[in-house]
Structures are given as C-alpha cells and as structure tokens.
Amino acid sequence: MEWWQYLIAIIGGALAGVVNTLAGSGSAITLTILTEVLGLPGNVANGTNRVGILTQSWAGSIAFYQNGKLDVTKSWAYITPTIIGAVAGVFAAVYVSNEQFKIVFKVLMVLMLFVILIKPKRWLRESDFNKKPNLVIAIPIFLALGFYGGFIQMGMGIFFLASMVLIARYSIIDSNAVKSFVVAIYTILVIAIFQYKGLIDWKIGGILAIGQTAGGWYSAQFASKFPSADIWAYRLLVVIVIYAILKLFGVFDFLF
C-alpha cells in the first residue's frame, strides 16, 4: 500500500464509523475504498470490512453504555432474532453473490426515504420502554434484518433503525445504541466464518479499523451527551438515504 492509500483508508474509515453509529450505510464508504482504491475482490472486501465494523460497534456500544443509553435487558426481543438471522446470512454470503441483494436494496432504500420523511415526529420522540413487543411482528422482521446484515451489512443499520423507531418505539439515539450492540455481537461470528474461508485481509482491515473505531467512539459520545443529537441523527439519516438512492441509480455517474 502507498502512503496515500493508508490516509484514505483511515479517513474514510473514520467517516464510515460516524455514519454507521449515527445512521447507517457507512459500509458503502468502506466497501468502495476496499474494492476501488485497494483493489480487493468483492467477497474479500466483504469479509475485510467486518474487522472495522466489529471494533467500531464495540467502541460505540461501550460509549453508549457508559452514558446510560444502552440497556440490553429491555431489548432482547429484538436483539436475539437479529443475531440468529445474521448467522444464516453470513453462511449465505460465503457461497452466494450479493448482486441480487443490491437490486432489492435499491427498492428498499426508495421505500425507506418515504418512511423517514412521512411524519418525522415519530423519529424524534422519546423511547417508550413500557411498550411490550409484538413477537408475531418483531421476530420475522428482526430475523430478516439479521440475515441481511450477516449477508452484506451495507444499509442494515438504516433498516434496523427504522424497525426500532417505528416498531419498538425507541428514540433514534437509543435505537442506535441497540444497533451498535447487536452488530458487535453477531460480527464476532461473521468474522470467524469469513476467516475460516480465507476471506479477510487483516492488514487492510486493521488500518480501516483505526478510523472506524475512532469514528464510532466519538460519535457515540456525541450522541449520548448532545441535547439535540436525535435531530442531527435524523438529518444525517435523511442525507445518507438520499445519497444512497442517487448513487444506486447512477445519478452521479450520469452527471459526472
């Protein structure tokens, strides 16, 4: 690697850590760096990307916990099926191309933009921890979310946030805290399986992880302490979803 590639990896990793912790889809940044800048094959990039996701998620989870934003005892109905789904998803990722998922991803992101923009007050309310989960609805949805996260990860955070805010009725910051913890747990297994298949470049993954960990830690600290963090997280989420839609449908390629 050249010095400028190290620089891009660390800065891009830090940005991805911030985006992943406060919204989601930061893997769009890191996967682009891994494939387009560093030249890794798609399946190796998918595995290598999980190293930074692991460190960033644990850093964010610890920061959220220290600031009283993470209480896993109230969220197991959503955490458990997500982790189970992720186990199935990572086995699929090892053997199946993710191109088909990218087609589905385009449609889901457009739908997600409408969900986010309609009645934005739903995204800015306080958590309702007294609400009992409807397991008939929650289990299938969070199983599917876990499968998607284990399979490709990119965009999983956005879909998880929407489910936590709209179904579990958590605030967007509390949802981010649970999301960080869930991803931190299942990514341990994901990395083990990718490593068993020889699909991780630890040197490159470690360099990316430096930036991702710093971004995840500091953004979680900010989100936990800043009074208007919910509003800024919501705004960032809208920007990320719009950007993802424009990129997925080739608008940037057409313009530039």
For the chain, give every domain's residue range. Answer: 3-255
Q: What is the pLDDT of residues 120-175, one digit of tens each?
A: 888 888 888 877 878 888 999 999 999 988 887 777 888 899 999 988 889 999 99
- 248 pLDDT exceeds 80? no
8's tokens: 């891009």
- 229 pLDDT exceeds 90? no
Say what percent of the chain tops pLDDT 90.
Answer: 35
Question: What count of Cα atoms within 13 Å lies in the side-chain half-sphere of residue 211?
Answer: 24
Nearest to 179 by CA among 46, 68, 13, 20: 20
Q: What is the dihedral of CA 72, 74, 78, 84, to 10 degrees?
A: 50
Burial of 227 (0-12, 13-18, 19+ CB in 10 A): exposed
- 52 pLDDT exceeds 90? yes
Q: What is the pLDDT of residues 173-189, one digit of tens each?
A: 999 999 999 999 988 98
Q: What is the pLDDT of residues 10-38, one digit of tens each?
A: 999 999 999 888 887 788 788 888 988 88
- 102 pLDDT exceeds 70? no
80's tokens: 């458990």
DSSP H or E stretch at residue 2: none
Nearest to 127 by CA among 79, 80, 161, 82: 161
- 108 pLDDT exceeds 80? no
- 209 pLDDT exceeds 90? yes
* pLDDT of the residue at 100: 61
* pLDDT of the residue at 140: 93
Distance CA 168, CA 191 (A): 28
222's tokens: 């900010």
Residue-wise DSSP of 49-64: HHHHHHHHHHHHHHHH
- 256 pLDDT exceeds 80? no
